[in-house]
Amino acid sequence: MHIVNTKNSEHYNWGNKCDGWHLLKNDNLSVIQEKVPPGCFEVKHYHNFAHQFFYVIKGTATIEIDNEIFSLYSFEGIEVKPGQIHQLRNETMDDLEFIVVSSPKSHGDKVIVEN
């Protein structure tokens, strides 16, 4: 066992200038910290199996889940169930930082939805 943070975790880029760090990465459970610059967003998608929880650390997230729009502020979270179409966006002028917990892992279980 060891203490994890963004400095010692596997890093990857996604979307347009977004960052992710695998704080915990296994088939049954994934914990990722992500950073989304102003104006950036994820594509609309859903997961067949992954049950997710998004928790904002810093900034404001706009998340659309099944055509309903939610604003999440620092220290607020929301659940996304398997099959729910969702998209996370940063519509502010400040960086957005959040944690996404997925069980099982969401990588490899992403179905993109056309707008």
pLDDT in tens, 58-90: 999 999 999 999 999 999 999 999 999 999 999
Please give the domain boundaries of the chain with CATH numbers for all domains: 10-112 (2.60.120.10)
Q: Residue 15's pLDDT band (boundaries 50, 70, 90)?
A: confident
Name which of 85, 14, 77 is nearest 48 in CA terms.
Answer: 85
pLDDT at 115 over 90: no
**How far is it, in rounded angstroms, from Cα 113 to Cα 52?**
18
The per-residue pLDDT for 16 is: 78
Angle value at C-alpha 111, between 37 and 30, nearest 5 degrees: 65
Per-residue confidence band for 28, with pLDDT thresholds at 50, 70 and 90: very high
* pTM attached to this predicted model: 0.95
